[in-house]
Amino acid sequence: MLYEYLIAPFADFGFMRRALVASLALSIGGSAIGVFLILRRMSLMGDALAHSLLPGAAMGFLIGGLSLPAMSLGGFIAGVATALLSGVIARFSSMREDASFAAAYLTAMALGVLIVSLRGSAVDLMNILFGAILAVDEGALVLVVSTATVTLIGLAAIYRPLVVECFNPGFLAAMGVRGSLYHYLFLSLAVLNMVAGFQALGTLMALGLILLPAVASSFWAREVWSMSLVAAPMAFASAAIGLLVSFHAGLPSGPVIVLFASCFFLLSLLFGSRASVRARLSRPVHLRG
Amino acid sequence: MNAALRLTDLTVSYDRHPAVHHVSAEIPAGEMTAIVGPNGAGKSTLLKALIGLAPQVEGRIECTAKRIAYLPQQAEIDRSFPISVLDTVLLGRWSRFGGFGAAKPVDLHDASHAIESVGLSGFERRPIDTLSVGQFQRVLFARLLLQDADLVLLDEPFAAIDSKTVADLMVVIRRWREEKRTVVAVLHDFDQVRRDFPHALLLARELVDAGPTSRVLSSENLLRARAMAEAWDDHAGACDVPLRLSA
């Protein structure tokens, strides 16, 4: 009975197995990225960045059809270009970076939808916007797993400068370190993860598995590394549960996975060990000193 | 006089509007110098120019110090960031291990010694978002201690800090002077400047006076500084004082 519900879908169907492995890799790399996005107060900018993959992916689609390498490469180029452009615009004008991000992503979304409609059908557009985790093939799996590897190694390498750049950028500058270099290295890693998430969850929700578990983890842990450690299992659990539920109920998998990630966020918000609703309401006895 | 810093015709501007205007002055080595002046007089901007954080700098800065440590205003630091006291203090050794090297046992030993000497023993593992403003300032001083700099720049080190903490931190600053380090602090409390800082530099965008504190903080000078218009003239023409030097 339990076997039938929990194990059989993965044992019997290759596409479910590949989806599970892909979401494991996404969870491990993405959640660390998510933690940094939150700490840099860039959650919404990250979301804008994910949307801006669309025209690139659409160009890839126009040239190569529904081919993952072409669309991924296009998406990566579009994402990095958006990040760089917004940074440059913010630096050379008095515009704030969040405003320039918003401008860039609205432009990108409009352009992307237009490009897809030039050749594709409504189904293609749905695929690009919302992804299809059950369509993950060997090639996509290699892409997602390599992304997770590059992300973890990359983050480990730039960890210290990145942390200092987050909380005291002036100190880095006084030490003669160019903080913006690490900012952009981090942004490219973030774009890389969004590209990896794009096949599974689409450009609209690619950030779901990255950001929601990270937000949830902030109710449990209070150092960068421990937040990442809490976030990754939550991301993977939402993916695994989401896959099973969507399989049995015949629902689209992407939104179900993201909704389960939202459940983890809500539960953490209510019952987390720090700054949660429970911690606020329980009025623990105060200590002596 | 042996100068740690020599400024020649220094102008620092934001959006072409000068915050520091044609300032020439010397700051004596191994001494404690206070930078005073009304709000908007360019005090913080001057410090930022010294460490290369200011956008547009003209004129010349000559500095004999090899290592400079800088205490920013607390508003420039994200105090809600999840990082521990020990990790924050250890950053003072950045010049030794940079962004990628490992902290050695001696660094850890020095860090806990520094934390102890600012009176925060036992706080090593505490996240910084649980500290009060005064405690956090002690953490930043511990980080300065670890930087082992011959020129220490302090931007409003005692803003919103209680007298006990000020007294404790002044002990640290005086020890720097005994160790022949140059200390430059932006301060607002004239009584404290008169008491503790033998040298002063009075700024009102332009230099009002620099030298021994008793002379610089004369009522006449202070009146002149106060009369400085805090003006940002949108229609200001280009400055017609010729630049004698360019950076």
Both B2 and B12 in a single domain? yes
CA A119, chain centre distance (Å): 28
Q: CATH no. for residue B202?
A: 3.40.50.300
Both B8 and B34 in a single domain? yes
The answer, for B78 touching chain A at a CB cutoff of 8 Å, is yes
pLDDT confidence tier of residue B137, bands split at 50, 70 and 90: very high
For residue A232, the model assigns a pLDDT of: 94
The CA-atom distances, in angstroms, between B143 and each of A133, A162, B71, B91, B151 are: 48, 18, 9, 7, 14
SS3 B204: strand
Both B2 and B62 in a single domain? yes
- pLDDT tops 70 at residue B37: yes
In a domain, A287, yes or no: no
In a domain, B108, yes or no: yes
In a domain, B25, yes or no: yes
For residue B232, the model assigns a pLDDT of: 55
Number of independent structural domains in chain B: 2
The answer, for A26 touching chain B at a CB cutoff of 8 Å, is no
Both B80 and B57 in a single domain? no
For residue B246, the model assigns a pLDDT of: 45
Interface probe, candidates A175, A178, A226, chain B, greatest B C-beta count within 10 A: A175
Alpha-carbon span B85 to A224, nearest angstrom: 14
In a domain, B177, yes or no: no
* Domain range enclosing B219: 1-66+152-158+188-247
Beta-carbon separation of A168 and B52 below 8 A: no
> Which chain A residues contact residue B99 at CB under 8 A?
158, 160-161, 177
In a domain, A281, yes or no: no
The answer, for B70 touching chain A at a CB cutoff of 8 Å, is yes
Residues A135-178: pLDDT tens digits?
788 888 898 999 999 999 999 999 999 999 888 888 888 888 88
For residue B247, the model assigns a pLDDT of: 41
pLDDT confidence tier of residue B1, bands split at 50, 70 and 90: low
Mean pLDDT within A108-133: 80
Transcribe A8-25 into DSSP letters: HHHHH-HHHHHHHHHHHH
Q: Which residue has the higher pLDDT, A129 or A17?
A: A17
> Which chain A residues contact residue B67 at CB under 8 A?
none
Residue A104 backbone dihedrals phi, psi, to 5 degrees: -65, -40
Number of independent structural domains in chain A: 1
Q: CATH no. for residue A138?
A: 1.10.3470.10
The answer, for A160 touching chain B at a CB cutoff of 8 Å, is yes
Determine whether A2 is exposed, middle or buried from the number of CB atoms within 10 Å of its CB (0-12, 13-18, 19+). exposed
pTM of structure:
0.84
Both B76 and B112 in a single domain? yes
Count Cβ atoms below 10 Å from residue B230 Cβ, excluding itself.
10
Mean pLDDT within B213-237: 78
For residue A150, the model assigns a pLDDT of: 96
Both B75 and B58 in a single domain? no
Beta-carbon separation of B81 and A166 below 8 A: yes
B3: part of which helix (H) or strand (E)? Answer: strand B3-14
In a domain, B180, yes or no: no
Helices (H) and strands (E) in chain A, counts: 15, 0
Alpha-carbon span A259 to A24, nearest angstrom: 17
* Domain range enclosing A237: 2-269
